[in-house]
């Protein structure tokens, strides 16, 4: 398996987690899971193992890529401050490509399991597309919003609330970082819904071709041209088709 060796944008990342003596470990066929004694993750560890192994098989089956030559490692943090102290960020979850690691905030009420983060790692043979499609693919394979919501319904709400930019703007990789985290639930479902529309209408092969050719190292104009060459229509035209589908 070939991994894309591109530097990941991780301005606050640190590796204090490596030397922390509290970790307990559970190993499965495709994962190493680390968690703290007495934590919610320890209580849920069987469910975690079953959930991620199921997600792994689903992702590999869809992507049609080889099994990786190493296991995915998960670190589960019991609260935001511990996560920030040990790895530098208190957000829900991050996949670290170069380390094949996922860092997760896992509490009684926050349990970001499933396909999303693993898709970021297992799709590396396809390359590193822009965030619009990288996050879109991860959300498409997840299949629902953070709390089980319908992605199309959240996309409709996002348009109605005017909390998302035009897709032509998001053909610039950096546009994702500029989005307001207050509306993150809408943003993730928005790109998941659009990815589902593309795959259902034009097929997985076209999406993969576009994904492999678009890049965070290319300009918004270059990525838009690639989209046009693959789909035969501009990103604006396809976005309008998608809106017509959502609001029919």
Is the pTM value of this prediction over 0.75? Answer: yes
Q: What percentage of residues in the chain have a pLDDT greater than 90?
A: 91
φ, ψ of residue 197 in degrees (nearest 5): -60, -45
Same domain for 136 and 115? no
**CATH assignment at residue 91:** 3.40.30.160
- First CA to last CA across the chain, in angstroms? 43
- Domain final residue, candidates 95, 126, 157: 126
Q: What is the pLDDT of residue 10?
A: 83
Note whether 23 and 34 are within 8 A (CB): yes
Q: Is residue 224 part of a domain?
A: yes
Same domain for 120 and 210? no
**Residue 106 carries which DSSP code?**
-
Note whether 146 and 124 are within 8 A (CB): no
Residue with token string 């999303």: 116
Same domain for 29 and 120? yes
The total number of structural domains in the chain stands at 2
Query: Dihedral angle at the C-alpha atoms of 219, 233, 176, 78, nearest 10 degrees?
Result: -130
Q: What is the pLDDT of residue 11?
A: 85
Q: What is the pLDDT of residue 1?
A: 37
Residue 102 has pLDDT above 50, yes or no: yes
Same domain for 140 and 121? no
Q: Is residue 221 part of a domain?
A: yes
Q: Is residue 1 part of a domain?
A: no
Note whether 76 and 112 are within 8 A (CB): no
pLDDT tens by residue, 183-205: 999 999 999 999 999 999 999 99
Q: Is residue 205 part of a domain?
A: yes
Same domain for 215 and 153? yes
Across the beta sheet with 31-35, the strand order is: 24-27, 31-35, 72-77, 101-105, 93-96
The whole domain housing 223 covers 131-246
Residue with token string 């998941």: 192
């Amino acid at each position: 398996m070939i991994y894309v060796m591109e530097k990941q944008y991780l301005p606050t990342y640190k590796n204090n987690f490596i030397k922390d003596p509290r970790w307990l470990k559970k190993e499965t066929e495709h994962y190493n899971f680390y968690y703290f004694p007495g934590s919610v993750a320890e209580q849920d560890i069987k469910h975690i193992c079953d959930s991620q192994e199921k997600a792994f098989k689903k992702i590999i089956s869809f992507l049609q890529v080889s099994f990786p030559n190493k296991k995915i490692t998960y670190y589960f943090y019991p609260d935001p401050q511990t996560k920030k102290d040990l790895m530098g960020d208190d957000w829900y979850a991050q996949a670290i490509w170069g380390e094949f690691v996922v860092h997760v905030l896992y509490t009684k009420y926050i349990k970001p399991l499933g396909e999303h983060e693993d898709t970021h790692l297992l799709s590396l043979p396809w390359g590193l597309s822009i965030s619009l499609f990288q996050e879109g693919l991860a959300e498409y394979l997840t299949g629902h919003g953070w709390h089980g919501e319908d992605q199309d319904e959240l996309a409709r709400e996002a348009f109605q609330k005017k909390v998302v930019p035009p897709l032509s703007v998001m053909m610039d990789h950096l546009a994702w970082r500029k989005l307001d985290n207050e509306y993150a639930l809408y943003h993730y479902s928005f790109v998941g819904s659009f990815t589902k529309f593309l795959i259902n209408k034009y097929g997985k092969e076209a999406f993969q071709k576009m994904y492999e050719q678009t890049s965070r190292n290319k300009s918004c104009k270059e990525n838009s041209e690639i989209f046009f060459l693959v789909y035969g229509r501009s990103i604006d035209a396809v976005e309008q088709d998608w809106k017509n589908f959502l609001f029919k």
